[in-house]
Chains A and B, each alone.
Chain A
Amino acid sequence: MAGAGGGTSDVQWCFSQVKGAIDDDVAEADIISTVEFNHSGELLATGDKGGRVVIFQQEPESKNQPQCRGEYNVYSTFQSHEPEFDYLKSLEIEEKINKIRWLPQKNAAQFLLSTNDKTIKLWKISERDKRPEGYNLKEEDGRYRDLNTVTTLRVPVFRPMDLMVEASPRRVFANAHTYHVNSISVNSDCETYLSADDLRINLWNLEITDRSFNIVDIKPTNMEELTEVITAVEFHPNQCNTFVYSSSKGTIRLCDMRASALCDKHAKQFEEPEDPNNRSFFSEIISSISDVKFSHSGRYMMTRDYLSVKIWDLNMESRPVETYQVHEYLRSKLCSLYENDCIFDKFECCWNGNDSVVMTGSYNNFFRMFDRGYRQDVTLEASRENSKPRSVLKPRKVSTGGKRKKDEISVDSLDFNKKILHTAWHPLDNIIAVATTNNLYIFQEKLN
């Protein structure tokens, strides 16, 4: 069995925790919109439609239960974004958190970037477990003492206090995007980051908020000629000059910032020719890429479109090296999915720690894992019914033929309101976080 990843053949997943309200009546503000582990995996951040960020911290492994990794408990909760109103355009700006990205930790404090449709914010999350006591000129409650009563000199000392976690906004990067921000990515240099909206990509310095460089602009002179938009952007994990951006046409462009200040001309373009047999009214929609993620090694990148996950080798632009069908049985249902808007759902994808397994979500609260080495895949479900502590998740199967076997679920029985759009994999261990509409499920590898 491999260390961090393991094949799906030998890894059994069991339920660990579920966060969020139990009732079926989902408040819109509680809908989870992004999930992200930090670089060590100790912290897990979620953002929701109400503009809040909730950070969970993993407890240290207890000696009493060595077969169980530490649980995640709430560490900090704060309101990142508020609804705003653009008076010039007469438009409301949603407070929904579109993306959260952690910065690599440099000191005791943690930093993350969170973004809504228009504004990116840098948050500092720091712990306070001591406070100064015994001020010379101040009372314990902070009021200044009458100077006439001060007769001695004393130096304040730090005394322990209950742990307090403070989140404070350190930078606000605003007014740089005309269109809706869909992704952010921190550079490996830890000094700059990218933010992308439908038509433009901006490069920021983390210290400077009043200006940014526009490095990609695909807005046509005449908007009637618009044929594609930017859907995601990501910096290369090791090369600070390289980034990729995906488009609604199913192409991925790799750009090198050393080539020129404006990266409209790509260095590489990754595109797979469309299969003419699969052509339909909805071909453009289902080929739109909803997420792009580099592997940890930086050699590969993964893209998610509506029906599949594709792995690309950065050295080969003509076609992906691997293609995994997430829910091919939906291809014949595209018209219904168009009518109920599900065809516009933007699924994300993620790699495990050693790039051997990839994961993405589907409908009916199913999520899928694809083992690249063993060429195996598994479908699991996040549901309250399977939420007994340490209960092993049973693989699920969707029946596509006429005969439905026992324990299989037919395509027509799938609940398209229960969708898993956001998933995250611990960078080092086999721990995954899966977001249903308003609940966060944490599953761990079964340890014997």
Chain B
Amino acid sequence: MEVNVEARRILAVSISKLYASRTQRGGLRLHRSLLLSMVMRSARDIYHSSRETEGQTSEEPMETSSKEGCDSEITEDKENMSPTKQSRKRRGKASAAPDFLPSKRARLEPGEERYAAPMGSWRFDPPPTHIAHQGADLHQRSRDRGITGTMVQALRSI
């Protein structure tokens, strides 16, 4: 559990660092981005495996307490536990979006409606202010897509 919390914290810190490095003077640093993505990958793997362990331990009381007539439910729960099908079934606590991720719903700060962009497209279509502030542009980003691509995959799989 502690490892899970630690992994989540490191993931959150890493994402914010990666995000902040995009507006750094001199552009994205490949070395730094690579190291950040490696830490994120380790943290994501630990987080995944610890959540799977948690999911297995929480399944046991259900099985022992309601054996009759629960076969279909258990089958459904097993389906829920499968990582590939998790998102399709009804959302249990285990599959809720982690709270350290930015909300997908765009929240507009007052006076900034013109510059807001939907969360899902931030990695490819930054708001105009990013370009004005020497952020990495599409050209740079497509070349470094390996790093951000890895990060995006990490976010998707959580």
A residues apposed to B, CB below 8 Å? 88-94, 96, 117, 179-180, 182, 198-199, 220, 222-229, 231, 248, 281-282, 284-285, 288, 335, 338-339, 341, 344
Residue in B closest to A88 when the chains form the complex, CB atoms: B139
B50 close to chain A: CB less than 8 A: no
Interfacial chain B residues near A225, Cβ < 8 Å: 146
Q: Contact check, B146 vs A223: say whether CB atoms are below 8 A apart.
A: yes
Interfacial chain B residues near A229, Cβ < 8 Å: 30-31, 34
Would you call the interface of chain B mostly helix, strand, loop, or mixed? Answer: helix
Interfacial chain A residues near B135, Cβ < 8 Å: 90
Residue in A closest to B7 when the chains form the complex, CB atoms: A281
Interfacial chain B residues near A89, Cβ < 8 Å: 27, 137, 139-140
Smallest beta-carbon distance A107→chain B, Å: 36
One of B35-43, B69-77, B93-101, B107-115 contacting the partner: B35-43
Smallest beta-carbon distance B60→chain A, Å: 30
- Known contacts: A226-B146, A338-B10. The answer to whether A94 contacts B35 by CB under 8 A is no
Q: Contact check, A91 vs B34: say whether CB atoms are below 8 A apart.
A: no
- Known contacts: A91-B136, A288-B35, A335-B10. The answer to whether A223 contacts B143 by CB under 8 A is yes
Q: Give me 5 other A-B pairs in contact (C-beta within 8 A), A225-B146, A285-B35, A335-B6 excluded.
A: A117-B26, A223-B147, A227-B34, A228-B34, A344-B32
Would you call the interface of chain A mostly helix, strand, loop, or mixed? Answer: loop
Contact among A90, A223, A288 with B145 in the assembled complex (CB-CB below 8 Å): A223
Q: Contact check, B30 vs A180: say whether CB atoms are below 8 A apart.
A: yes
Q: Contact check, A281 vs B34: say whether CB atoms are below 8 A apart.
A: no
CA separation between A198 and B26, bound complex, in Å?
Answer: 14
Smallest beta-carbon distance A178→chain B, Å: 8
Smallest beta-carbon distance A84→chain B, Å: 11
Residue in A closest to B14 when the chains form the complex, CB atoms: A338
Interfacial chain B residues near A335, Cβ < 8 Å: 6, 10
B25 close to chain A: CB less than 8 A: yes
Offer 11 A-B interface pairs, CB within 8 angstroms, sorted by A.
Answer: A89-B137, A90-B135, A92-B25, A224-B149, A226-B34, A248-B31, A248-B35, A282-B39, A284-B38, A284-B42, A288-B35
Q: Contact check, A199 vs B26: say whether CB atoms are below 8 A apart.
A: no
Q: Which of B27, B46, B146 has the most CB of A within 10 A?
A: B27
Q: Contact check, A344 vs B35: say whether CB atoms are below 8 A apart.
A: yes
Q: Contact check, A338 vs B13: say whether CB atoms are below 8 A apart.
A: yes
B131 close to chain A: CB less than 8 A: yes
CA separation between A284 and B36, bound complex, in Å?
Answer: 10
CA separation between A101 and B138, bound complex, in Å?
Answer: 35
B52 close to chain A: CB less than 8 A: no
B residues 40-63 in Cβ contact with A at 8 Å = 42-43, 46
Q: Contact check, B26 vs A180: say whether CB atoms are below 8 A apart.
A: yes
Q: Contact check, A92 vs B27: say whether CB atoms are below 8 A apart.
A: yes
B91 close to chain A: CB less than 8 A: no
Smallest beta-carbon distance A153→chain B, Å: 59
Residue in B closest to A197 when the chains form the complex, CB atoms: B30
Residue in B closest to A227 when the chains form the complex, CB atoms: B34
- Known contacts: A89-B140, A180-B26. The answer to whether A224 contacts B150 by CB under 8 A is yes
Smallest beta-carbon distance A109→chain B, Å: 32
Interfacial chain B residues near A91, Cβ < 8 Å: 26-27, 134, 136-137, 140
Interfacial chain B residues near A96, Cβ < 8 Å: 26
CA separation between A223 and B10, bound complex, in Å?
Answer: 24
B residues 119-158 in Cβ contact with A at 8 Å = 131, 134-137, 139-140, 143-147, 149-150
